[in-house]
Amino acid sequence: MNGTNIYGQGMSFPPRLGADGRMAWSSGPDNIREAIMLILLTQPGERLMLPDFGGRLRSFLFEPNTVAIRRLLQDEIQKALRIWEPRISVQSVAVEADAGDAHAAVATIQYQLVATQTGGLINVRIQLAG
């Protein structure tokens, strides 16, 4: 088994066409990063056959950009990834106000791949009311 097979393979996210004009696929650590984004950007109820799938980040769209709301976002991110992405162990989640936009926050997620203990980092921008 090569190193990318332990992570699986899936349709790329966001969906895009490959050089051959067909749907692109992702594998290896890219597949995990894309899966994390897919989980966090999917609102529960959007998937017909998996109605509980996703994180509730868009539920915070009209909430104020306060420390309390950012703490709730942090908890929601940890919960969603713990439930839906067994290939990683979340090491930390920090949600801070976006310095360039009073109506947004940035979540920095540090994780470790369970199969290889390799670390990863991803940033997610979350739109809020301000």
Most confident of 19-23, 58-62, 126-130: 58-62
pLDDT at 4: 52
Helix (H, G, I), strand (E, B) or coil at 41: helix
Q: Which residues of 49-71 are buried (b: 16+ CB within 10 A; e: fewer)?
A: eeeebbbbbbebeebebeeebbe
pLDDT at 130: 59
| Dihedral pair phi/psi, residue 118, rounded to 5° | -80, 140
Region 112-126: what's the mean pLDDT?
95
Q: Which residues of 5-39 are buried (b: 16+ CB within 10 A; e: fewer)?
A: eebeeeebbeeeeeeeeeeeebbbbbbbbbbbebb
Domain 5-127 of CATH type 3.10.450.40: yes
**Structure-block tokens of residue 53:** 């799938």
Q: Helix, strand, coil shares of the chain as percentages rounded to 5?
A: 30, 30, 40
The beta strand positions in the chain, using DSSP E, are 9-11, 25-27, 88-97, 104-113, 119-127
128 pLDDT more than 90: yes
